[in-house]
Amino acid sequence: MIPSLSLTEENYLKAIYHLSSSGNESVNTNSLAESMNTTPASVNDMMKKLSNKKLIGYKKYKGATLLPDGKNSALHVIRKHRLWEVFLVQKLNFKWDEVHEIAEQLEHIKSPILVERLDQFLGHPTIDPHGDPIPDANGIIKEVIKAPLSELAPGSVGMLVNVSDDDPSLLQHLDKLKISLGSHITIIERMDFDGSVSIKVDDKDNHFISKTIAECLMLTLLDQ
């Protein structure tokens, strides 16, 4: 049985999951400290606690790896976060750039029946408003084959399925460009000197986007 976890412990497990490759790789102390906005000493203390609860494997100076119960706990928190984001956008008319901080608070609600009924009420969604996959009740994630726009060759056409950065300023900028999940994007040209990309959105509007933005837009290729 997975032990009861504090809000901070849940946040650490979630951070390890996000910083590793789906929870399967070791995460070093400094990376965690930066992610959690704290000191390496505080991270070491928390790693010992989580290790004692058999949620992570941890060796000082080598980092932390999620054990099965730790990974399940992280995925459960991520599931709640993404379901709440769907609820906030679909039912309360929040914009996709407004929901992350609110969902950060709601994800720590403990009631399993509330999460189950929320999932049912929303029709069992598989992605959140940013295109991130929602783990099911068993922690299984339905993955979609996708690639960053920055890596696609000129002439490629893809559908936007995920924005990998939920920074509100980025999402607001995409709104101004009329780029959203489901948009069809044609890569016209990539500039060698700075990596910026010329694109056409939904066969209508042409835009130049920076390399930073292109790296955040995840596309699944469409047959041409």
The DSSP secondary-structure symbol of 127 reads: B
Q: How confident is the model at residue 162 (pLDDT cuts 50, 70, 90)?
A: very high
Chain centroid offset of residue 98 CA: 15
Kindly tell me if the per-residue pLDDT of 224 is higher than 60: no
| CATH code, domain with 209 | 2.30.30.90
CA distance linking residue 32 with residue 37, whole number of Å? 8
Kindly report the CATH number assigned to the domain that includes residue 12. Answer: 1.10.10.10
- What span, in angstroms and rounded, lies between the C-alpha atoms of 23 and 141? 13
72 falls within a domain: no
The whole-number pLDDT of residue 1 equals 58
At residue 22 the predicted structure's pLDDT band, cuts being 50, 70 and 90, is low
Residue 93 has pLDDT above 70, yes or no: yes
Give the per-residue pLDDT at 2.
66
Which DSSP helix (H) or strand (E) runs through 174? Answer: helix 168-176
Show which of 66, 87, 113 is a domain's final residue. 66
For the segment 53-64, the average pLDDT, to the nearest whole number, is 88
Q: Is residue 11 part of a domain?
A: yes
What mean pLDDT do residues 135-164 have?
93
Q: Is residue 99 part of a domain?
A: no
Q: For 57, phi and psi rounded to 5 degrees?
A: -100, 130
Alpha carbons 216 and 167: distance in angstroms, whole number: 10
Query: Among 46, 66, 86, which residue terminates a domain?
Result: 66
